[in-house]
Amino acid sequence: MKKIIMTLALCLTASLGSWAQQAPDPGNWKAYDLIKKADSKRSERSSEAFAAAQQLYADAEKEIMNDIAKAEAEGKTDKLARLHFQNAQLQFKLLQDELTKAQQGIRFDTLAFCKRVDGTILSFDQAEACNRKPNAKGKVKPNSILTSYCKIGISNVLTLYYNCGVFMDSQGDKQASVDYFQKFVDLPKATCVFSDHQADSIYERNAKIYSLARYNLALQNYSLHNWQKAIDCATEALKDTIDPQNLYIVKLNSYGELKDSVSWARTLVEAAERTGNTNFYTQLVQYYLESKKVDEANTLIEKLVNEKSDKVSTWYMKGYIELDVKKDYAAARESFAKALEIDPNAQQVLRPMAMCYVNDILNQIYDKKFKYLGTDRKIVGRGRGGEADKALAKEVAIYDKELAYMREYYSKALPYLEKLRELNPDNPRLWASDLQLVYSNLGRTEEAKLMDELLDKANRQAQGLE
């Protein structure tokens, strides 16, 4: 299974400090003064001043949190809104210290970074929630300026939950990573600061980033054995084009763990259609072969034919089931022919179409339907005139008829394999072995010999011997 996708720049779009002149009055003026003193200390740019500033910020945070508890007890929604907003500004300020280090590639406190991201977003959200609550008289008087700043504030740090997910993964805490990626995906709809329309616009405008997050969620949930969640996240991520093959593997393996064979089979078909990788079909056919679930295979095929009769994949799948599971070669040929009517160059269909003829005649031989083909019996006798000559001629005629009958099957298989060779001239391993068999049985020894040489060369190259 691949690793999560980490690419996402650490950035903020603005500084909340520049809003101070227009922002709502502080909820706690003592905390406001402590923060001002801390800012002044930081400007001295010494380690001692920085330590003093951090203590002042901590004192301010404690003042705000004490006031929040008191305002909650008294039901003062307006004051609560301003206090939460003030705390959001402070959390944002403290976040920037770690953010700057991360941007510069300097070692930083990952847990502190994530804590401040949580604090900033939660405080902005709580500020707006309180801003919209009815006061003691049951009236709602939201502060439009505070609403605007909360919206800008969360927009400013919207993507940082993604970074938290990456950081937690790097720390080996996959559950925390999942939690943060999920927060990132949910935030536009979960927070009260955005309307449904605004949230939809955020998802649409940043669709690629949210797809990356859902991709990561699929992988992380899979690694944590959260099978259904992995399936749900992979399904969402598949709405984009990020590594669909790996996402389908997540879904398939998760359905396998859940013992949901119907969804597993349906996903294999979807994966083959989406990726063009016929190995998915082969895997499904092998499953039906091993499990002998012919009825389940028939149900799937019937559904495909009813819903997707214009798809090459439908007739390819139907033909493969008939070829390998049911051994109904005539039906398989009809299905593959319909697939080739839709796309004459459908490479995945050409070889199985040829195998319909090859396997058909081989099975007839194995079933001992011939007097001479597939047996050790030899035509003997030199003929001595009269009845002996007639008897010998009769046996030769039987053999010749059987040979001609067999070669008719190989002759019908040949064009499909030659077409596959034409479409893939540089990949003999796709067609040389089958063509060697067909040419040999048609008595075309030189061409059969050439196939042996091409296949041997290709195999040696694959092994690094040439």
Structural domain contains residue 198: no
pLDDT recorded at residue 385: 59
Residue 88 falls inside a structural domain: yes
From the number of C-beta atoms within 10 Å of its C-beta (0-12, 13-18, 19+), residue 295 rates as exposed
Residue 266 pLDDT grade (very low, low, confident, very high; cuts 50, 70, 90): confident
- Per-residue pLDDT at 18: 46
pLDDT of residue 137: 67
Non-local CB neighbours of 98 within 8 Å, separated by 6+ positions:
108, 109, 112, 113, 116
**Backbone CA torsion sign across 285, 290, 294, 299:** negative
Per-residue pLDDT at 391: 79
Residue 379 has pLDDT above 50, yes or no: yes
Could you tell me how many residues make up the chain? Answer: 466
Q: Using alpha carbons, select from 379, 405, 404 the residue that is nearest to residue 393.
A: 379
Q: Would you say residue 420 lies in a domain?
A: yes
| pLDDT at residue 95 is higher than 60 | yes
Q: How confident is the model at residue 387 (pLDDT cuts 50, 70, 90)?
A: low
Asked whether residue 13 carries a pLDDT value surpassing 60, the answer given is no
The sign of the CA dihedral 307, 308, 309, 314 is negative
**Of 135, 157, 179, which residue sits at a domain end?**
157
Q: Classify residue 292: in a domain, yes or no.
A: no
Cα(196)–Cα(419) distance, rounded to whole angstroms?
55
Last residue of a domain, one of 157, 189, 224: 157
pLDDT at 335: 96
Six-digit token string for 438: 């067909």
The pLDDT value given to residue 20:
46
272/455: higher pLDDT: 455
Residue after which a domain boundary falls, among 157, 175, 208: 157
The Cα 305–Cα 298 span in angstroms is: 10
Q: Which residues contact 123 (CB under 8 A, 6 or more apart)?
A: 84, 85, 87, 88, 91
Q: Cβ(420)–Cβ(350) under 8 Å?
A: yes
Query: Is residue 230, in this structure, part of any structural domain at all?
Result: no
Alpha-carbon distance of 59 to 403, in angstroms, equals 98
Higher per-residue confidence, 107 vs 408? 408
98 in helix, strand or coil?
A: helix
The mean per-residue pLDDT over the stretch 17-42 comes to 79
Single-letter residue type at 317:
M
Half-sphere exposure of 449 (CA within 13 A, CB side): 4
Number of domains in the chain: 2
> Is residue 76's pLDDT more than 90?
no
Contact present, 184 and 159 (Cβ < 8 Å): yes
Residue 449, pLDDT score: 96
User: What pLDDT score was predicted for residue 240?
Assistant: 86
Structural domain contains residue 115? yes
Residue 317 lies in a domain: no
**Rounded CA Rg of the chain:** 36
Write out the two tokens for 104: 């510069």
What's the token pair of residue 177? 């990573």
In this predicted model, what pLDDT tens digit does every residue of 320-369 receive, in sequence order? Answer: 888 988 889 999 999 999 999 999 999 989 999 999 999 999 999 999 99
**Least confident piece of the model among 15-19, 146-150, 158-162, 173-177:** 15-19
pLDDT band for position 308 (cuts 50, 70, 90) = confident
Taking residues 90-103, report their average pLDDT.
85
The verdict on residue 83 lying in a domain is: yes
Residues sharing a CB contact under 8 Å with residue 445, sequence separation 6 or more, in sequence order:
439
- Token code pair at residue 337: 């022919």
At residue 3 the predicted structure's pLDDT band, cuts being 50, 70 and 90, is low
Percent of the chain with pLDDT over 70: 92
Closest of 7, 62, 54, 1 to residue 30, by C-alpha: 62
Section 440-447 average pLDDT: 95
Task: Measure the CA angle with vertex 187, ends 184 and 193; round to 5°.
Answer: 150
Range of the domain at 415: 368-462
Residues 100-149 pLDDT 10s: 877 777 888 889 999 999 999 999 999 999 998 886 666 777 888 999 99
H helices of 12-142, where?
29-42, 47-74, 77-103, 110-131
What per-residue confidence (pLDDT) applies to 19?
A: 46
